[in-house]
């Protein structure tokens, strides 16, 4: 087992937790701005959110590379297999990091859904007030890759 790959894998988990904390904070602020319809501030915040998402995407790619370097599949099963192969104190710490990462990812997903429902409700209200036809689809926004 390559110690550098294991260290890199664990460091990427810690980095992602910090980035997810930042994303959760930004999503809460985003919801507040959406509620108040403050579009000028939303533009800047949404750019920050997209940058954080890109950082998380790149980090996940690196984590997949670490798993492959260790001869494991680059997925959740590979991460679980790595965790099981670690010595006891490191195994427990890594398990906690993986659990926290999954929990915070779920929180981000729920917050994103909440913001989407708010936008849908606002759009529906505007359509009723203006008499505009109801549209179910939102325009596509580019996500940097």
DSSP 2: -
Alpha helices per DSSP H over the chain: 3-36, 39-69, 76-85, 88-130
**Residue 68 pLDDT more than 70?**
yes
CA–CA dist 130, 118 (Å, integer)? 18
Lowest mean pLDDT among 12-26, 59-73, 79-93, 116-130: 116-130
Return the domain boundaries, the chain.
3-130
Instruction: Report the pLDDT value the prediction gives residue 139, as an integer from 0 to 100.
Output: 56
CA–CA dist 134, 91 (Å, integer)? 53
Instruction: Give the confidence band of 131 by pLDDT, cuts at 50, 70, 90.
Output: confident
Instruction: Report the pLDDT value the prediction gives residue 118, as an integer from 0 to 100.
Output: 83
CA–CA dist 39, 54 (Å, integer)? 22
Instruction: Report the pLDDT value the prediction gives residue 137, as an integer from 0 to 100.
Output: 54
For 119, other C-beta atoms within 10 Å of its C-beta total 12
Question: What's the CATH superfamily of 3-130?
Answer: FlgN-like (1.20.58.300)
């Amino acid at each position: 087992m390559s110690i550098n790959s294991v260290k890199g894998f664990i460091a990427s988990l810690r980095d992602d937790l910090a980035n997810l904390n930042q994303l959760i904070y930004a999503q809460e602020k985003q919801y507040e701005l959406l509620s108040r319809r403050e579009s000028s501030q939303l533009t800047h915040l949404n750019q920050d959110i997209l940058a954080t998402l890109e950082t998380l995407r790149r980090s996940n790619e690196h984590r997949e590379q670490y798993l492959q370097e260790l001869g494991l599949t680059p997925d959740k099963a590979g991460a679980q297999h790595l965790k099981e192969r670690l010595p006891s104190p490191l195994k427990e710490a890594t398990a906690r990091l993986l659990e926290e990462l999954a929990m915070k990812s779920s929180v981000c997903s729920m917050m994103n859904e909440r913001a989407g429902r708010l936008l849908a409700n606002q759009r529906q209200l505007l359509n009723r007030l203006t008499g505009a036809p109801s549209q179910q689809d939102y325009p596509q926004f580019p996500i940097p890759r």
